[in-house]
Chain A
Amino acid sequence: MSYIPLSPKEIQAMLQKIGVTSPEELFRCIPEEIRWTKPLELPPPLTEPELINYFQGLNQRNSYPGFLSFLGAGAYPHIIPTVVDYLSSRGEFLTPYTPYQPEVSQGTLQIIFEYQTLICQLTGLEVANASLYEGATAAAEAVLMAHRIKNKPKILVAKTLHPQYRQVIATYVRRLGLKIEEIGFNLESGRLSLDDLRKHLDEEVAALVIQSPNFLGIIEEPGEAFSLIKERGALAIAVVAEALSLGLLQPPGKYGADIACGEGQSFGLPLSFGGPYLGFIACREEFTRQLPGRVAGQTKDAEGRVGYVLTLSTREQHIRRERATSNICTNQAWCALRATIFLATLGRQGLREMAYHNLQKAHYALEKLTSIREISQPLSGPFFNEFVVSLKKPVADVFNELTKRGFIPGYILEKDYPDLKNCLLICVTEIHPQETIDRLVSVLKEVFS
C-alpha cells in the first residue's frame, strides 16, 4: 500500500522546480560510501485484506481471552462505556500533536484542564499535570520530584509497593546516587510496619512511598506513617495503582500525601497487554513548579475570551534543557482524554457505584473461597477489589490445574514475596458475574478434593 498523494506528473513538476532530475539526487548529501543501496530485508507489502488476515492469525494465537481470569496486580479489567471508544476515535483527538499552538488546539487543552481538575478532585490535592507514561514511571517521577525538593539521598519505599514500580524507581534513581530502603509489612495485617519504618527514619530521608490499596490489596492507613516522616522533614508520596478505588476510599490528600501518583488505566483504558496506560501525578500547590511534564492552564485572549494553554513551561526540557524538571515531551494525552470521557460519563454516582460493586463482589468471592478448607485468608487488613488467599497445596500446581479447566485464578505472589508462599492475589471487579465467581469456587473445590 502507499499513502503518498502525488501523481507521477506532479512529482516531475516538483523535481523540475527544485532543479533536479530524480529524487535520488536529493540524497546526495549522504556520502556514497555509507549510503544503503540494497533493498531492506522486509516482506513484500500487504494489502488491507492480507493485513487483516495476518493480524487475525496473531489474534488467534492469544488464547488468554478465552479464560476466566482473576488477574489484577496493577492492570484491572473494567467496563468501558461505549461513548469512550466512540468519542476518542475521532480524528480531531487522535491525529493532532501536543498543543503547542493553543489557538488551534483548544479542544485538547480544555480537556487536559478538565482532566487535571478531575485528578485533583479524586486525589484531594491541589495541582495535577497533564499525564505521565504509566504508574511505575509516575512513581519514579514522584521520587525524583521529592529529591529535587528535599535534596536528600534516601528514599523509603514500602515493600508492598507494586514490585514493577519498585524496579522502575530503582532503575531511575540508581544513577543519581540515591539510596532506596524498603520498609516491610506486618505479616498479619498486610499493612506497612510502623516499627520497621521507625528504624529507617533519619535526617537523610527525602520521601516515603506508600501504595494504597497496596500490592497485596490491603487498604493502608498511611496517616500515621506520613506524620512520622513529615516530622523528619521528608515528603509523603502516595501511590494508587487501582484508580477506581478513589471512587470510594479516602483520597491521598486527606491522609497527608504531599504527592499522589499512580496508574489511571482503570478509567477507560482496555488491558491492552500492558499499554498504552495512563500515569497521573498531583501535588500540593507549593510544589507546582517541581512537577514533571506538561501542565495546562487557563488564560484569556485580547478580547477577554477564556482559553487554555500549556503553561509553566520554564520547568520543561524545551526551555530549560538539562535543568528541566523532567525530560518528558510526548506523554499520554489521548489516554487522559479517554479517562476524562470515562469519568464524565460515570459521573459522581456511577464512579462510586462501580467502586462499591467491586468491593462487594471481591468480599463475596473471598467469603466463598475461604469456605473451602484448604483456602485461608492470611492477611487481616481491609481490602478493596483484590485480596490474598493462602493455599494448602503448591500454588503452581493449583494454578496449572485451574488453567487446564479454563481459569486464571490470580497472580502468584511468592516470586515477589517469598514470605507469602503458596499465596494467590485475586482480583474481582464489576465485570465478574456471580456465576463466574461461583464457578471459580467450585473448580477450586474440585482441585482440592
Chain B
Amino acid sequence: MSRREPLIFELSDEGKRAFWLPPLDVPEKKEHLEAIDIRDDISGFPEVTEPEVVRHFTRLSQTNFCVDTSFYPLGSCTMKYNPKINEKVASLPSFLLSHPEAPAELVQGNLAILKQLETFLAAITGMAHFTLSPAAGAHGELTGMMIIQAALTQRGNPRKIVLIPDSAHGTNPSSAHICGYRVQEIKSNEAGTVDLQDLSRLMTEEVAALMLTNPNTLGIFEKDIHRIAEIVHAKGGFVYMDGANLNALLGRFRPGDHGVDVLHLNLHKTFATPHGGGGPGAGPVGVTAELEPFLPIPVIRAEAGQLVLDFDRPLSIGRVRSFFGNFLVIVKALAYILSLGGRGLKEVAEIAVLNANYIRKSLEGIYHLKYSTPSLHECVFSDKFQREKGIQNIDIAKRLIDYGLHPPTMSFPLIVHGALMIEPTETESKAELDAFIEAMKKIAQEAETDPESLKTAPHRAYVGRLDETAAARHPVLRWKG
C-alpha cells in the first residue's frame, strides 16, 4: 500500500452526507430554542458519504497488524486468539439494549452473568469474592490498593509505604501512588525473583502492602510466594498480586490458597476478550473473605430467589466506576470459561508455557538470556550480543515487521537492558512459532552481515520508522485544517 489514506477531514466536502433521520414526527416549535444558547456550526467537522466512510476505515484497518492476521508476541499482554462465538453471544439483543438503571428485577439475566463470572473467577483463583467494576487492569490495581488502604485505615493506620519489585509493570507504582502511598523498590535477586532477605529487611509496620506480579514479568514463578506472604502478614501488611500473567497458572496454582489477599485479573488477557487496539478491557479484583466488606459498590447478592444490588455497605471503598463495569467484556469472558471448562483452561496454561519454552530453547545462545531460571509463559531476551555490532532491541523489533511479524514487548522489564519480552500464548501453531524463530535467527545473522538493514527497518511497512522524538518535541495532536 503506497498511497497515504487522507484524514477523514481531508475527505470532507460541504453538503455531503451519510446519515438521514426519519422526519421529525412531533410538531416542530422554534420557541423551544429561544431560551437556549445554540452553538455555531462546527467548522471543519466531517461531511462525507457512506461509501467514503467505509473505504476510509477499511483501508485504515488494513494497515494494522492484529491477532487475526499475525503472530503478536507482545510480552505480558497475552495476545491470544479471540473466539468469534464470544462476540456473537455478547451481541444478543437484551445485553446490548439493557439500560444500566433498569430495575433489577427486569435484568436478572445480566445480573446472573455478573454473579456467575464472580463465582467462576473465585473457583479459578481461590479468592473468596470478586468485584467486576474495574474497567482495566490498572483500574483493578487502583481498586485493590484502595481496598487494602480501607482495611488498614479501619484497623487504625493506613500506613505509608508499598513495596514493589523492580521488575514490576509501571502501572503498579503508579496505582500505589494515586492511593497516596510512597513506593519502595525491592531489588530482584540473581534468579530474577524477590529476595527474601531484602523483603524481610524492608517489611516494616509502615508497609501497607507488597505488590507482586506472579509469574513475574520475566515469566518466572515466584516460588517463595507462600513464604513472602508470611513475611508480609507477620508485620500486618497485605499481599497484592498482579494477575496479568495468570494465563500461565490456570489450573496449576490458585493465589487465594497461598496468602494472596488481593488479586486483579485482566479479562482481555487471560480470558481472551479482544484488546480492541487498547481497550476496552476489564480488571476484576478478587479478595479474601476478610476484605469483602471493603469491595466497591454495588455488590450483587441473592435474596429470596432474586439477584439484588446492594449499596448499603458502610465499609465499602465507594464507587470506582459508574454502573457495573465493562459488561459486554464480562459476557465474553464468561463465554470463554464456559466453552473451555476446567480442563480446557488447564490445557491453555500448559500450551502457553510449552510454546514459550520452545521459543526460549530455540533462541537461547543466539540472543542473550539474562536469567537462566526456568520460565513459564514468556521469556525475556536482550540485545546484548547484537549491541556489540551497534544493533539495539528496537532495530531487531522493527526488522521483524519486514518478516510479517509483530515485535515483542521492548525495553521492559527495566531490569533487563535492551529487553525483548516474548509471549507467544497457547493459540499459535508450530508453523507460526517456527517462522518467528527463523526470522529471529536471520535477524541475528543480519546484525553481523548487514547491520544497516536493521537500523533502517522496517522497509516493507505502510510507513518507515517514525520519528517519535520529533512527535514529542513538537506535538501535533489534532488536525487543524
Q: How far apart sit A382 and B31, CA to CA, in the bound complex (Å)?
A: 11
Most buried by A among B64, B106, B318, B470: B64
Q: Mark A17-45, 1 if CB is under 8 A from B, else 0.
A: 11100010011111101111001111111
Establish whether residues B478 and A382, one from each chain, have CB atoms under 8 Å apart when the complex forms: no
Establish whether residues B92 and A59, one from each chain, have CB atoms under 8 Å apart when the complex forms: yes
Q: Mark A51-63, 1 if CB is under 8 A from B, else 0.
A: 1101111111111
Q: How far apart sit A24 and B109, CA to CA, in the bound complex (Å)?
A: 39
Most buried by B among A73, A100, A276: A276
Establish whether residues B279 and A171, one from each chain, have CB atoms under 8 Å apart when the complex forms: no
Residues in chain B near residue A318, CB distance under 8 A: 169-171, 412
Establish whether residues A327 and B138, one from each chain, have CB atoms under 8 Å apart when the complex forms: yes
Residues in chain A near residue B85, CB distance under 8 A: 48, 51-52
Q: How far apart sit A14 and B356, CA to CA, in the bound complex (Å)?
A: 11
Interface flag for A103 (CB, 8 Å):
yes
**Interface-forming stretch among B21-29, B196-204, B384-392?**
B21-29
**Interface-forming stretch among B73-81, B233-241, B284-292, B443-451?**
B73-81
Across the interface, name the chain A residue whose C-beta is closest to B283: A330
- Given the interface pairs A4-B427, A64-B98, A95-B275, the reply to whether A36 lies near B138 with Cβ below 8 Å is no
Q: How far is the CB of B338 from chain A (nearest CB, A)?
A: 5
Establish whether residues B340 and A344, one from each chain, have CB atoms under 8 Å apart when the complex forms: no
Q: How far is the CB of A7 from chain B (nearest CB, A)?
A: 8
Establish whether residues A97 and B338, one from each chain, have CB atoms under 8 Å apart when the complex forms: no
Interface flag for A447 (CB, 8 Å):
no
Q: How far is the CB of A419 from chain B (nearest CB, A)?
A: 20
Which of A15, A87, A128, A299 sits near B468, CB closer than 8 Å? A299
Q: Mark B115-159, 1 if CB is under 8 A from A, else 0.
A: 000001001101000000001111101100010010000000010
Q: How far apart sit A57 and B321, CA to CA, in the bound complex (Å)?
A: 28
Establish whether residues B46 and A97, one from each chain, have CB atoms under 8 Å apart when the complex forms: no
Which of B28, B353, B465 sits near A23, CB closer than 8 Å? B353
Establish whether residues A75 and B462, one from each chain, have CB atoms under 8 Å apart when the complex forms: no
Q: How far is the CB of A438 from chain B (nearest CB, A)?
A: 9
Establish whether residues A274 and B72, one from each chain, have CB atoms under 8 Å apart when the complex forms: no
- Given the interface pairs A26-B354, A103-B458, A294-B278, the reply to whether A360 lies near B252 with Cβ below 8 Å is no
Residues in chain B near residue A27, CB distance under 8 A: 252, 353, 376
Which of B69, B74, B97 sits near A270, CB closer than 8 Å? B97
Establish whether residues B461 and A104, one from each chain, have CB atoms under 8 Å apart when the complex forms: yes
Residues in chain A near residue B398, CB distance under 8 A: 101, 103
A sample of 16 cross-chain residue pairs with beta-carbon separation below 8 angstroms, ordered by A number, consists of A27-B376, A36-B253, A51-B339, A59-B109, A96-B72, A105-B65, A108-B277, A116-B478, A134-B135, A134-B321, A276-B279, A297-B472, A331-B278, A331-B280, A348-B45, A359-B36
Which of B82, B113, B225 sits near A58, CB closer than 8 Å? B113
Establish whether residues A34 and B258, one from each chain, have CB atoms under 8 Å apart when the complex forms: yes
Interface flag for A426 (CB, 8 Å):
no
Establish whether residues A347 and B26, one from each chain, have CB atoms under 8 Å apart when the complex forms: no
Establish whether residues A297 and B426, one from each chain, have CB atoms under 8 Å apart when the complex forms: no
Establish whether residues A311 and B468, one from each chain, have CB atoms under 8 Å apart when the complex forms: yes
| Residues of chain A at interface, number, CB under 8 A | 200
Which of B65, B124, B136, B324 sits near A330, CB closer than 8 Å? B136
Q: How far apart sit A3 and B170, CA to CA, in the bound complex (Å)?
A: 31
Q: Mark A342-369, 1 if CB is under 8 A from B, else 0.
A: 0111111111111001011101100000
Q: How far apart sit A305 and B459, CA to CA, in the bound complex (Å)?
A: 13
Q: Mark B1-45, 1 if CB is under 8 A from A, else 0.
A: 000110111000000111111001111110011011111011111
Q: How far apart sit A382 and B230, CA to CA, in the bound complex (Å)?
A: 61
Restricting to B170-188, which residues have a CB under 8 Å from any CB of A?
170-171, 173-180, 183
Establish whether residues B354 and A274, one from each chain, have CB atoms under 8 Å apart when the complex forms: no
Residues in chain B near residue A130, CB distance under 8 A: 278
Interface flag for B220 (CB, 8 Å):
yes
Interface flag for A149 (CB, 8 Å):
no
19 more contacts with CB within 8 A, not counting A42-B345, A92-B61, A349-B17, are A30-B223, A36-B126, A43-B341, A45-B339, A61-B112, A71-B102, A91-B68, A92-B66, A102-B463, A107-B62, A133-B135, A271-B96, A295-B477, A299-B466, A317-B171, A324-B177, A335-B280, A344-B18, A363-B32
Restricting to A83-137, which residues have a CB under 8 Å from any CB of B?
83, 86-87, 89-108, 110-111, 113-114, 116-118, 120-122, 126-128, 130-131, 133-137
Q: How far is the CB of A212 from chain B (nearest CB, A)?
A: 10
Which of A17, A337, A352 sits near B362, CB closer than 8 Å? A17
Residues in chain B near residue A92, CB distance under 8 A: 61-62, 64, 66, 68-69
Restricting to B307-328, which residues have a CB under 8 Å from any CB of A?
317-328
Q: How far is the CB of B339 from chain A (nearest CB, A)?
A: 4
- Given the interface pairs A167-B319, A354-B21, the reply to whether A45 lies near B106 with Cβ below 8 Å is no
Interface flag for B87 (CB, 8 Å):
yes
Interface flag for A81 (CB, 8 Å):
yes
For the complex, would chain B's binding face be called helix, strand, loop or mixed by DSSP majority?
A: loop
Interface flag for A309 (CB, 8 Å):
yes
Residues in chain B near residue A137, CB distance under 8 A: 135, 139, 320-322
Residues in chain B near residue A33, CB distance under 8 A: 226
Interface flag for B366 (CB, 8 Å):
no
| Residues of chain B at interface, number, CB under 8 A | 202
Which of B64, B223, B426, B471 sits near A311, CB closer than 8 Å? B471
- Given the interface pairs A295-B477, A434-B25, the reply to whether A51 lies near B326 with Cβ below 8 Å is no
Across the interface, name the chain A residue whose C-beta is closest to B78: A97
Residues in chain A near residue B18, CB distance under 8 A: 81, 83, 344-347, 350
Across the interface, name the chain A residue whose C-beta is closest to B114: A273
Which of A44, A175, A354, A360 sits near B341, CB closer than 8 Å? A44
Establish whether residues A127 and B477, one from each chain, have CB atoms under 8 Å apart when the complex forms: yes
Interface flag for B304 (CB, 8 Å):
no
Residues in chain B near residue A99, CB distance under 8 A: 277-278
Across the interface, name the chain A residue whose C-beta is closest to B411: A318
Q: How far apart sit A114 and B53, CA to CA, in the bound complex (Å)?
A: 13
Q: How far is the CB of B318 from chain A (nearest CB, A)?
A: 4
Establish whether residues B407 and A329, one from each chain, have CB atoms under 8 Å apart when the complex forms: no
Restricting to A300-332, which residues have a CB under 8 Å from any CB of B?
300-303, 305-309, 311-314, 316-324, 326-332
Establish whether residues A300 and B470, one from each chain, have CB atoms under 8 Å apart when the complex forms: yes
Establish whether residues B135 and A106, one from each chain, have CB atoms under 8 Å apart when the complex forms: no
Establish whether residues A98 and B112, one from each chain, have CB atoms under 8 Å apart when the complex forms: no
**Interface-forming stretch among A193-201, A203-211, A226-234, A248-256?**
A248-256
Q: How far is the CB of B434 from chain A (nearest CB, A)?
A: 10
Q: How far apart sit A105 and B407, CA to CA, in the bound complex (Å)?
A: 12
Q: Mark B370-385, 1 if CB is under 8 A from A, else 0.
A: 0001111000000000
Q: How far is the CB of B50 from chain A (nearest CB, A)?
A: 6
- Given the interface pairs A299-B466, A348-B47, the reply to whether A271 lies near B94 with Cβ below 8 Å is no
Q: How far apart sit A11 and B430, CA to CA, in the bound complex (Å)?
A: 9
Q: How far is the CB of A109 from chain B (nearest CB, A)?
A: 9
Q: Mark A233-269, 1 if CB is under 8 A from B, else 0.
A: 0000000000000101111001000000001000000
Interface flag for B190 (CB, 8 Å):
no
Q: How far is the CB of A130 from chain B (nearest CB, A)?
A: 7
- Given the interface pairs A45-B338, A103-B464, A332-B280, the reply to whether A30 lies near B471 with Cβ below 8 Å is no
Residues in chain B near residue A131, CB distance under 8 A: 278-279
Q: How far apart sit A35 and B149, CA to CA, in the bound complex (Å)?
A: 30
Q: How far is the CB of A62 from chain B (nearest CB, A)?
A: 4
Q: How far apart sit A409 and B119, CA to CA, in the bound complex (Å)?
A: 34
Residues in chain A near residue B410, CB distance under 8 A: 100
Interface flag for A219 (CB, 8 Å):
yes
Establish whether residues A61 and B108, one from each chain, have CB atoms under 8 Å apart when the complex forms: yes
Across the interface, name the chain A residue whose C-beta is closest to B470: A299
Q: How far apart sit A29 and B63, CA to CA, in the bound complex (Å)?
A: 41
Establish whether residues A408 and B103, one from each chain, have CB atoms under 8 Å apart when the complex forms: yes
Across the interface, name the chain A residue whose C-beta is closest to B41: A348
Residues in chain A near residue B93, CB distance under 8 A: 59, 65
Q: How far is the CB of B413 from chain A (nearest CB, A)?
A: 11
Establish whether residues A94 and B346, one from each chain, have CB atoms under 8 Å apart when the complex forms: no
Q: How far apart sit A306 and B427, CA to CA, in the bound complex (Å)?
A: 35
- Given the interface pairs A23-B353, A61-B109, A97-B278, the reply to whether A341 lies near B470 with Cβ below 8 Å is no
